Amino acid sequence: MIAVSLPDELLQKLDNAVAKTGKKRSYLIRESIQMYLNQIENTHEKKEIILNTSKPFYEILIEEFQVEKELMTEARKTEFTMFSDNGKLYVVNSKGNTRKLEAVYVNNFFEEYKKTGSMSPSSYQDITFNSSYLLAALKYLIEKELI
C-alpha cells in the first residue's frame, strides 16, 4: 500500500472519473499508473533504426552542409546555422557563437541514434552537448531522403 497526497484539482478530476465510470478511486489510480508506466516503457524502449549510410555520419553532414543551412531544434525551437568548411563541421547557435563539431562525437551520436531511435536530446547527454543540433540535422537529412 502506498499513501499519496493529491492536489485538489487532481482529486476533483479523479472524483469526476469515479462519477462517470462507477469505478472506485483505487481502481482508477492503479489503472492510471499502469497506463503511464506503459507509456514510459514504450517511449524509452530501444528501437533499432536502419538507415542507408555507406559513409560515416560526419562525412554525410560535411557534404550536405557545404552551403550554410538554417535549421531549428525540435525541443526548444531555437534557430541555428550548420555549415562545413575545409572538411570540418560547424554550428552557429542563436547567440551567434560558432562551435566546431568533432567527428568522433558526431559519429558516436549517430551510432547511439541507430540503436535507440530516440529523438530526445537527453538520450545523448553522455555523448555530446550538441545533440539538439545533430537531431535537427538528422531530421533534415531524413526528410530530404539523403539517408
Query: pLDDT tens digits, residue range 128-139?
Result: 999 999 999 999
The per-residue pLDDT for 100 is: 98
Taking only the tens place, the pLDDT of each residue in 73-103 is: 998 899 999 999 999 999 999 999 999 999 9
User: Residue by residue, what is the 3-state secondary structure of 83-118?
Assistant: EEECCEEEEECCCCCEEEECHHHHHHHHHHHHHHCC
pLDDT less than 50: residues of the chain:
none
pLDDT of residue 111: 93
**Domain residue ranges of the chain, discontinuous segments joined by +:** 8-44, 57-143
User: 114, 49 in Cβ contact below 8 A?
Assistant: yes
Average pLDDT, the chain: 91
